[in-house]
Structure 1
Amino acid sequence: MLTSLATIFFTSLIIAFSGAMMPGPLLTVTISESSKRGAMAGPLLITGHAILELLLITGLLLGLAPVLKHDLFFLISALLGGSIMFWMAWGMFRSLPTLSVNTQEGTERKGNLLITGALMSLANPYWIIWWATIGIGYIFYSQTFGLPGIVFFFLGHITGDYIWYTAISTAVSKGKKLFTDQVYRILIGICGTFLVGFAVYLIMTAANNNF
């Protein structure tokens, strides 16, 4: 039993790494917020992400998977997600003229990082599709070991996210000391541009019905 639970934990950890390392809106926001708020931005964003995933796993266990895979759900998710990304990008672009590396780290408290972490997850419909397909399969397998199986699966999955995003957040925060104001603004501008790109792609995909 313990061997099986350990296997579930470590395989879930590896799968989480493969997903966390892929570029996406959550990674983009992590880079942006870490440069402004310091190394704790990543863990806080992932905590919001983790709370949402825990709720989603509960929903999947209660039979939510068919709803999440429906074309209409993808359409609504893509349109709302694209709108959220546009809003986040606009905030980044609007702040560019006043951004400075000399701003004391952690003094910018606008917005709740827990909520932002959850929003950036919801804004990506492919995150929902992953859970409704690959994720639900792994959940059903873990469920054969009862509640401990589900717990070890979730712990392995979220541990992978915490490790990767904490590493990214720490690296960006420490590296900020090497930035000039111009480089700092370029970094945030790139993050905003990527969010716009993600938003446009999602909305175009939804408009073309390419599910």
Structure 2
Amino acid sequence: MFSINEFLISGILLGFASGISPGPLLAMTISESIQHGSRAGIKVALSPFITDLLIVSVILLFLLKFDKYDPVIAMISLVGSFYLIYLGISSLRTKNIDLELKTKKTNSLKKGIIVNFLSPHPYLFWITIGGPILFNALDLGISSSILFVAGFYALLVGSKIIIAILVGRSREFLKSNYYLYTIRSLGLVYMVFAFYFLKQAFELLN
């Protein structure tokens, strides 16, 4: 069981890892920044604040039905650990960043909302990772849950905003070793959380 501060740190680490890892929303953020400037990329980066309220609410209501069924939560945690291992391996094996998308219109916020709604990433994250962590946080109190969510979204959105600004100034940032090595090192962070979820799954099954 995490402490209150550990829930905040967990949210920050997972948010940062999710924010800079290759995916549809990051691709759209980079594409808009390259073609229309940092301001357009920032609008895309802000889209989770709009989309995820509905996504997270629906998923938490779904998970709430199984909160008292340890085998179900154990299986969700087990799937979450495999998903984290997959993300970790993908990050560790990253060799180059090729995320540019072809777009013409500049309705950046609308594009970001559509991309995030249609992307599987937020659904997978909150079903298998974020949801179980939130339920554990509630055992310590609502403040733990708030800190986890605040830390997660501050870094999820904040990291994409920083990338939008850097890319808007120079697309060479995407080819720099700093960005590449940061993504690879975060693969280890995913592995640590995978171990935690595996441990939780086995504890619930026993």
TM-score (norm 1): 0.56
In 1, the alpha carbon distance for the partners of 2:64 and 2:29 equals 28
The residue type paired with residue 163 of structure 1 is G
Check the 8 A contact 2:40/2:108 in 1, yes or no: yes
CA contact (8 A) 1:65 1:136 kept: no
Contact 1:30–1:42 (8 Å) recurs in 2? yes
**Distance verdict in 2 for CA 1:31–1:138, change over 3 Å:** same
1:125 aligns with 2:124: no
Query: Using the alignment, how far apart are the partners of 1:17 and 1:143 within structure 2?
Result: 22
Contact 2:46 2:109 in 1 (8 A): yes
1:139 alignment counterpart: 134
Distance 1:57 1:146, change over 3 A: farther
- Deviation at residue 169 of structure 1 after TM alignment: 0.6
- Encode CA deviations 1:126-146: one digit per residue, 9 max, x unaligned: 431221111111111122233
Give 2:170's aligned residue: 175
* Contact 1:45–1:114 (8 Å) recurs in 2: yes
* 2:155 equivalent to 1:160: yes
Cα pair 1:49 1:114 within 8 Å, conserved: no
Q: Deviations over 1:61-107 (max 9, x none)?
A: 322588xx9xxxxxxxxxxxxxxxxxxx6x63xx5xxxxxxxxxxxx
Q: Give the distance between the partners of 1:58 and 1:141, measured in 2 at CA.
A: 17
Q: Which residue of 1 is the match for residue 5 of structure 2?
A: 6
**Considering only CA atoms, is the larger Rg found in Structure 1 or Structure 2?**
1
**Separation in 2, partners of 1:22, 1:123:** 17
Answering whether residue 41 of structure 2 is matched by residue 26 of structure 1, we say no
How do 1:66-77 and structure 2 match up within 5 A?
none
The residue number in structure 1 matching 2:176 is none
Quick one: percent identity of the two aligned structures? 26
Gaps of 5+ in 2: 66-75, 77-100, 173-206
Say if 1:49 and 1:30 are closer, same or farther in 2 by CA, change over 3 A: same
Mapped to 1, the partners of 2:124 and 2:106 lie a distance apart of: 27
Runs of 4 or more off by more than 3 Å in structure 1? Answer: none
Question: Does the 8 Å contact 2:31/2:41 carry over to 1?
Answer: no
Deviation at 1:155, TM superposition (A): 0.8
**AA in 1 matched with 2:58:** G
- Kept in 1, the 8 Å contact 2:137–2:144? The answer is yes
Q: TM-score, normalised by structure 2?
A: 0.57
Measured on the aligned residues, the alpha-carbon RMSD in Å equals: 2.9
Aligned residue pairs: how many?
A: 138
Stretches of structure 1 that go unaligned for 5 or more consecutive residues are 70-88, 96-109, 178-211
- Number of the residue aligned with 1:52: 51
5 Å-filtered alignment, 1:73-112, equals: 92=103, 95=104, 110-112=105-107
One-letter amino acid matched to 1:129:
L
CA distance in 1, matches of 2:142, 2:114: 28
Q: Secondary structure at the match of 1:63?
A: helix
Using the TM superposition, give the Cα deviation of residue 176 of structure 1 relative to its aligned residue in structure 2, in angstroms.
6.0
Asked if the contact 1:35/1:172 (under 8 Å) is kept, the reply is: yes
Is the contact between residue 29 and residue 164 of structure 2 (CA under 8 Å) also seen in structure 1?
Answer: yes
